[in-house]
Structure formats: C-alpha cells, structure tokens
Structure 1
Amino acid sequence: MAETYMNMGYTILTSPMIPIFPKEINSLKTNRSAIVVAVKAFKFCNYRRAHRISCAAARRRIRYENDDDEEETENGYNEEIAMLEIYSQSAREEALIVHALVDEQQVEVLIFKGFSSCLSYGTSPDPSKSVIPKRAVINSIDRIKGPFDPSNVQYIEKGLDWESFKSRLAST
C-alpha cells in the first residue's frame, strides 16, 4: 500500500507490488499519482490471490474424459464421496468414517475438512481419482469429533445409513 507522511513529499510502497511508473506519471511529480498507481497494483495483486485460492478450492473431480468403460468403472468418480467431502468442509469440527463395500470387501474411508483418505488400503496421490470407485456401495457413516485420533475415537453418531445421511444433506 502507499502512504504519505505529513506532506514530506515521499511515498512508501510495500513490496512485492512496487509498480513501474509510466513517463507521464513520473513527470507530474505528485504523490497523488503514485498512490493511484500503487492502489491499482494492490488491487491486481489481490485479484490474482483470490483467483489462485478459488482454483485450489476444488477437491477431487474428473479431469479426463475418455470413452474407455473399463477405465471408468475401475477408477470412476464417486459422487457420494464428493458430497461427503463438501459436507465436511462446512462441519470442520467433525470427521466422518465411511464404511463401504467394494467388490465384496469392507472398506473404511476417513473424511475430514474436505479431504478423504482410505484406511483400508493406500490412497492415490492423484486428486483427480476418487478414493473409492464409483461402484462402491456405502453401508454406514460414523460421525466423530475431529481431528481424528485413532487411539481415542469420540463418536457423535455411529452407524448412520447412507439414505438417512443423504436426507440430512438435502435439508441443509
């Protein structure tokens, strides 16, 4: 930002947004022009920061569209997990443990503050891939106090079925 101290005739600009002044402004030799340019540079810097934050807000989503059905069923996008990730962003003081069935195997997924991680096997480092595939069936959900501490799990609600939890999501 720019500040002028007691009409002493100098302007302080904080970095990293020190503007490059055009010749016309330099020839005017007024502090008012320097302040206007500095404020415009500050607004541009804030716009870039806001744009960067909004782009980083997206969690797991499909990045690649392909027609290969085998690839889609193997690593398909699970909309139910995405809904739970969005819910956990607003309920920041709690975590969710999701019990699901994938190919007749019981799988547990932990969701906290918009991020999900599989507790039964390794989680892919690629954020475009869902933690569990699209074909997974959610059996129940446990609401616990966050952050998750496996040695001291404090349940808020245990064993909620997916349909009742989905109706709660729709009502909020």
Structure 2
Amino acid sequence: MLHYPSLLFSLLLLTMSTPPQSSHLAGKFSTPEKTSKLASPRHQGYSTRCQARRQVRYDDEDEEEHENNEEIAMLEFYSQVAKNEALLVKAVVDDEEVEILVFKGFSSSLSSGTSFDPTRSILPTRAVIKCIDRVKGPFDPSNIDYIEKDLTVGAFKTVVQKIKDVRDNLQWNS
C-alpha cells in the first residue's frame, strides 16, 4: 500500500530544494541546508539527489584548464543523439597532439589520463580540434569501422544545430 504522507513529504522536499526562479520569490523557499535538517534520515538521500552538482575549486588550479570546452560539449550532445556512433577527435593542446573518444555523451582521452570528475572538460578551452572521425559504436580499436573521416568542427556545428532545431520543434509542438 502506498504511504501518501511520505510521498507528499518527498514532493515537499523536492520543491524546497529547488532554488527560486525569480528574485521576488527569494526567501519564500527553504535552502537545501534547511531542508536536510528537516528531513528524516530516510529522506535525506532523496533531497540530496535533487540539488545541483557542485564543483570544488582549488586556488592552485588553472581555471582555464577545466573550463567548459563548448566544442567537446557539442560533440557529447551529438553522441547522445547518435547512440550507435562514436567520435574519434584529434586535437592539439600546447603543440601536443591528443586523441579523444566521445561515446554516448561521455569523453575519454586515448592519449593521456582522463579526470574522474565528469564536470571537468576533457580538453581545455585553448585546445584546437583538427578533425573528427565518425565510427560505428561501440568502439573497437582493433577493428575500427569508419562512417566518415576527417570532418571539421564547422561541419559538425551545422549538423548539431539542425538536431537542436528539430528537438526544439518537437518540444514546442508537444
């Protein structure tokens, strides 16, 4: 049997943990810190999952190194839509060539280590993408099946923009 008070309590926690959308609502909602004090131990995990992902910044880190690279974000978006494809990206960072694999919305470096933190961009903003290869996924390095080779970032931007336009039209009509 469904226990309605706990369902209502969970919905209340969800609305309390979302920040107000406009300034005239500020102060009318509890902050997530206040919510966690009100929640029972059974519901604390639920309210935590609703909060925004936080990113720790350290003073000794180079801010540009971990800023969001919009080109990689665009390729990750494309790979979420084209689920049966992987993208092999060749880029240059500080005169060093790097190779990145993008598959199902995630990026991984094939030529160096990859950060465990998903909020960090795999490539710094100063990186220059040389070319992009579309391959059939899942990626098998011993048997690469190319769909297209040596695509430019500009060509991908037009394709991704068309995908976003179609998605926006579908959301607008529904």
TM bracket, shorter-chain basis? 0.5 to 0.7
Partner residue, 2:125: 134
* Aligned residues with identical type, % of pairs: 51
Query: Equivalent residue of 1:101, what SS?
Result: strand
Q: Does 1:157 align with 2:148?
A: yes
TM-score for the superposition, normalised by structure 1: 0.63
Q: Does 2:88 align with 1:97? A: yes
Inter-partner Cα distance in structure 1 for 2:127 and 2:7? 50
1:159 Cα deviation after fit: 0.6
| Superposition TM-score, scaled by structure 2 size | 0.62
In the alignment, structure 2 segments of 5+ residues that lack a partner are 19-45, 164-174
Greater helix content: 2
RMSD, aligned CA: 3.3
Give the deviation of 1:99 after TM superposition.
0.7
Number of residue pairs the alignment of both structures matches: 129
Partner AA of 2:55 in structure 1: R
**Aligned runs of 1:9-48 on 2, under 5 Å?**
13=1, 19=3, 37=4, 41=7
**Whole-angstrom distance in 2 between the partners of 1:87 and 1:121:** 23
Secondary structure of the 1:97 match is strand
What is the distance in 1 between the residues matched to 2:126 and 2:120? 14
CA contact (8 A) 1:62 1:129 kept: no
Cα deviation for residue 88 of structure 1 reads 0.6
Deviation string, structure 1 residues 105-128 (Cα, Å, up to 9, x no partner): 111100000011000100011112
1:71 to 62, 74, 80: 62
Query: What is the distance in 1 between the residues matched to 2:133 and 2:92?
Result: 15
Question: Following the alignment from structure 1 to structure 2, what is the Cα–Cα distance between the partners of residues 141 and 134?
Answer: 17
Letter in 1 for 2:150: G
Higher Rg: 1
The answer to whether residue 106 in structure 2 is matched with residue 115 in structure 1 is yes
